[in-house]
Structure 1
Amino acid sequence: AMEELERALAEAGGTGAPPAWGGRLRGLLLEELERGRDELARPRSGYATPVGVAVAACSDTLVGVAPVSPGMRVDPDVASEREWRVGAALAGALCHAAALPAPSAAEDLVMLFGELESHLVLAVPARHGDAELAAVAYEEGTAGIDRLRTRALVLPGHVLDGAHGTLSAPIGLVQHPLRVAEAVARLGGRPADDESVEAHEDAVLALLGVTTAPARPHDDPDPARRVARRILQRLHGMGKWGGFHTEFSHLARGFQGNERALADSVGEALLAEGLLSEKRSVGQRHVFLDPRRARDIHTLIDTGVLPKGLTLP
């Protein structure tokens, strides 16, 4: 499907293709996106033919579409880890190509979300947005993703016009992973790269207002409980639910002295109780908040009340 789409696009005149080609190009794009969804479910994705995403300049908007479930707008857990990284990289590429300034508050985040025939659509305002630059930025942003080969195709704007009409703000969490991706990108980071996301964590948390919880975990007089609440608060603030994870060693980030060792012990206790779940990746331990324990997690963050089975060191 990728090769056929590329041939048709070249025959039609590239991004200058007339609207008469719109139906043909969109049909081939949808075939490629379906193939991409299947590829992303495999242990290695895109090795025979790269997984494709598409970008286009539509009026004053840069639009991208990826072979990712649009359901992640409401429930981030429907996306696999690799789907999430594709979506995050596309978000970052659009922000880069649109030259969006660094945000100073959550209200400054402008990315909109939609769907095109069951595939995720992302869009940002861009009066002079460069879709070619977005494609280059996407491929650079995904180059280091393990077991994934992917590329971006630049399409005429009219091919994605239907998607342009379905756009809306993200639903649910202020700390939705795609909002975090936009924030990281606009702060100069690479949202599909774990180390870059971690480097911008403090700025993103401040931007999203996570530090203004009703009962501040930092003020908890019990050391272990204070550490547990801060760990959970930071993970929640960065959208680390379900498939969106971080290295276990990063749980101690931000703690000083003896609290670093305590953070490791508290992390093990949170894992043992099931508030955190674990994924092993290339010899490293990665953890994330378990959505099934969301009520207990939020209660502990906000009030300091421990779940019945949790024993802290």
Structure 2
Amino acid sequence: MTSTVTFGDLGRDPGDVARGLVAWVRGDPAEAVVQTLAFSGRELTNRRYTLWIWAGRTAASEPAWVLPTTAAGASAFVPRGPATVLLQCLDTAVELGADPALMRLEDWRGHVCLVAPGMIEGPLAAEVVAEDHPPPDRAALATLPADVVVGGPPIPLPDGEGWRGGPVAEVAAELGAHPVQVALALLVSKVRLATFADDPSSYLGQLRGWGVVGDRRGPPPPPPPSLEIADDPDPRRRHARTVLQRLLRMGKVGPGYHTEISHFSRGAAVHERHQAHEVAEALLRAGLLGEKPSVGQRHIYLNVRALPDIHALIDRGETRDPHLAALWTAPAPGDAATAPPAPSP
């Protein structure tokens, strides 16, 4: 049992790697899956990569893949390596029977969830995924536990003209449309992306005829706000998310796995330790943390029943507790783009 994914794990099956992580053993397989996705995602920026995909189902029981490409990266179509792999996954899903007219990208815990109705599942899918990424690259498909439901809000695919990263992106830039929209339009028309890459400019007229043209009346919309902890504008919430994530990866879930409450102030600047303790107390009151006295010291642990709320705070900076929300001095990262402007002084 380990708390992190290492470089030595890349040659192993992602399912075996995840099942050996502390989060999985402690009863939180979704967090273990996210750890494997984050590690594989970093590898996709290398010239030779290891691609780990998790197969599961949405709440509507549609087959879906969770990819190591981040939702924000898919929207902005960067970096080049993960963006190229995303297009390859669209092509592979169609090869496995998915209906491209119904395929869509959704955000599951910050990663791309490719919802692909009609896609074949099981060992055949794993074989095709591996064949589509031949050595020295490597791809592996693992199956999510049945109780882990994937899917989420749609990933925005903004129009624009500055796309880069291969033939699909170049044509998308010419059309002012998002590269994923171009790829899906080609696949709907039974044009495989490998065939398209042989002579992409010859498809410009057809794509325009199919209506794949962006809105050029103004600049593209700004990229979606970052949900990364390091980019959280509120220092108290940023510290809370950092420590909660650390406790989660250490396996401090449930009263049998506790640690000193002083752990919450570690990493905080000296002048911020008081407010770090205030946040810890607020998390206790909100029920995200539990308390277990130990030899006269105060020990804390993550409340098992509050894991959905803990993940919401870690992943998106969101909380349903009004008293906890009152501590923050800035909107949650996901709300920043829609927050009303501050009144003039």
The TM-score range, normalised by the shorter chain, is 0.3 to 0.5
Q: Which has the higher contact order (CA 8 A, sep 6+)?
A: 1
TM-score for both structures, normalised by structure 2? 0.44
TM-score for both structures, normalised by structure 1? 0.48
Q: Which structure has the bigger radius of gyration? A: 2
